Amino acid sequence: MSNKEWQHEQEFIDLLYDRLTELRDLAETAVHAAALPSEGNHAQMRLERNVLVAEQSGLLAAFNAGENGLCFGRLAFRDGRDHHIGRIGIRRDDADRTPLVIDWRAEVARPFYLATGHTPMGLRRRRHITTEGRRVTALHDEIMDLADAVRTGHEGTDADAVLLAALDAARTGRMHDIVQTIQAEQDGIIRAPHHGILVVEGGPGTGKTVVALHRAAFLLYAHREQLARRAVLIVGPNPAFLSYIAEVLPSLGETGVLLASPGELFPGVTATGTDTPEAAEVKGGAAMADALAAFVRDRQALPDPVIVIDHEDGELRLDADMAREARSRARETRLPHNLARPHFAFRVIDALTAQLVDRIGADPFGGPNFLGPDDIAQLGKEIATSAEVHHAIEELWPELTPEQLIADFLADPVHLPDAEADAIRRADGDWTPADVPLLDEAAELLGEDTSAARAAAEAERQERIDYAQGVLDLSYGSRTQEFEERDDEDSEVLAAHDLVDAELLADRHEEADHRSAAERAAADRTWAFGHIIVDEAQELSAMMWRLLMRRCPTRSMTLVGDPAQTAEPGSCGSWEAILAPYVDDRWDLVRLGVNYRTPTEIMEVAAQVPRSVDPSFTPPRSIRSTGVRPWAHRTDDLAHVVAEAVAAESHLDGRLAVIAPSAHHEALAAVLPAVSAGPALDLTSAVVLLGPRQAKGLEFDSVIVVEPAELGASDLYVALTRATQRLGVIHTGPLPAGLEMEPRPDAAPASR
């Protein structure tokens, strides 16, 4: 019976992969064809083609990633239905719409994740299928209907066997999907309604990140048309984290997603600089919005006391009253600075023109002005084209860029208390992540005058139309002469001008934009995303939240984080502080309470850190125990002992992280083979050296924490909870207050 079941599943997997090969070829052909110029190049057709490219590219990504685990389950219902479950839906062939594999996101697949012996949801049995490529390596059956006497020989008594096997597997440096092991509480979050803001809170190892990623995949499946066009933005704490999660969504067939760190959310700017904690806190504060708005108003100046403009008919004087009136009228438009500038300029030009008209058109005997409308219009044109007038307007109301404005502000941070101004004052230097929301705020305050670009684009398009019309005219003349030389019956042959007009012909030759929605969104600061997912959301500043809310006017968001792990200066901290300014109390909170990553032995030690600050702190409940106790070792030769500890772990499977304060990185890198210090991390390396902020959201088989007393409580809590199997601590001084650990088994407490 056992061999028969195994053979049956193996034959099915072989059939599935044969179909996979066919679909991969079809998808590659579709991507190639969709990228070719079409006969009609209207905007809607271009949009549909881009969506097709994205969908087929997603299928290809899933097919390629699906070499392992393309099908991972089977549901046998009491009514006779039988469905295989996989990471993407696959049909038997194009003519027969019968599914070969059901997509894990489909409603019919929910019993795979939710059914229990008490609530079988119509199931007779549930099977977990483990594969390596095309080879079936394990079957695990769960009996849901105890009245069913059929047995396969693959029944298991431990319902969590598949989950525990996945949790105990060695890490690879890349996050994997969990479609085979989604738990009931996770499934509810993944399939929660699309609209509004959902906050997912959970301690270390509760699966917040991977649940959020699967939620993105589900939303793209359930709201394909809307989100494929608008794209989904996923914001992660740093580039290393984004690299760690980069393969999850492609493995589920989803490519319409933009992954970015906070420092990458202003197009054209890559934030590589570093702020002091004090500077980051000041820049992140909500008061910065008012300070920048005031700084922009400062750039809308008045003459002091007057600007004299030379003119052939005598000097023109632009005084404070004239400029004040023009400024008031421009501000009344409530337009951003650059967009209001033409209104200011028009008022100044009108005032100077009136001044000139009064001077040269006045009747010396007090009669009416003798200049006619045409004369006045000509004088206005002279004023409007005067270089000196334009210079005066630029001096009083300059056109500004966000980069220029923020650079000027940081050089002289007015409208801030002296201590805060001193903390952020900077004459030059690279942009920092905390500068990015300031640049975005400046872009909102300034606006972008695109009238010149639109005019240039329209002129270019008109040139194409004129050229196309010339081509058609030549074609028409040639065909007319040809028709005159033919019999009447041949005159019904259609010429080009009978089938297409000049405008359509010009549009066909317009260069099509084949970028995906995510690629276009990355280059467009004003893009409105269909959904935004923020990881480590508790860390973001008030100014960064202003940026993100602009990116999602519909407020369709999933925010995941853990207030107990808040460490960044300037962060909002609580969900209420983050969301109240935007949605008041109209948001939902769910909590994940099960720790799938951290064994009980490690979690008991790590929980001492937040409990030393808050005695009522309750950690998430660990789902497993390894029997391996964490250890601590005190030494006077830090680098040497760390190197010894790393070497002792080298024979074990998986990945090891050395998490240390940045001040020790160079010395540690010097004694650790093939390990380098710096922001660039290769998480697939056997050993990685990083700081606690870099380790956020990551997990490793083994972790060695160095000098815990030099880390803040939040950073230390993060560092201690990254390990899935083994944890060690190496230190030169006393352990932080409240942290108690057993000594290293193979060494004396205070020696090498």
Q: Check whether the bond before 305 is cis (ω within 30° of 0).
A: yes
With 0-12 / 13-18 / 19 or more C-beta atoms within 10 angstroms meaning exposed / middle / buried, residue 550 is middle
Residue 134 is predicted with a pLDDT of: 85
Q: 359 pLDDT band (50/70/90 cuts)? A: confident
489 pLDDT tier (thresholds 50, 70, 90) = very low
Give the least confident one: 322-326, 358-362, 517-521: 358-362
Residues written for the chain: 752
> In 10 A of CB 680, how many CB atoms?
9
Question: What's the DSSP call for residue 524?
Answer: -
Q: How far, in Å, CA of 83 to CA of 553, rounded?
A: 40
**What pLDDT, on the 0 to 100 scale, is given for residue 499?**
44
Mean pLDDT, to the nearest integer, of 276-295?
96
* pLDDT at residue number 652: 83
The two structure tokens encoding residue 96: 């027969």
The pLDDT mean for the chain works out to 85
In percent, how much of the chain has pLDDT > 90? Answer: 59
Q: Given CA atoms 736, 742, 746, 750 in this order, what sign does their dihedral have? A: positive
Torsion over CA of 723, 724, 729 and 734, rounded to 10 degrees?
80
Cis peptide bond prior to 99, omega within 30° of 0: no
Which is more confident, 324 or 372? Answer: 324
Residue 457 clears pLDDT 80, i.e. is over it:
no
pLDDT tops 80 at residue 23: no
Window from 369-383, 413-427, 632-646 with minimum mean pLDDT = 369-383
- Phi/psi for 406 (5° steps) reads -70, -35
Predicted local distance difference test score (pLDDT) of residue 94 = 62
Q: What is the mean pLDDT of residues 186-209?
A: 93
Residue 611 pLDDT > 70: yes
Taking residues 148-168, what's their average pLDDT? 78
More reliable by pLDDT, 510 or 240: 240
Q: Quote the pLDDT of residue 159.
A: 62
How far is residue 561's CA from residue 130's CA, in Å, rounded to a whole number?
A: 32
Residue 539 pLDDT: 93
Place of tokens 């940081």: 410
**Sheet of strand 135-143: strand arrangement:** 90-91, 99-103, 82-86, 71-77, 123-132, 135-143
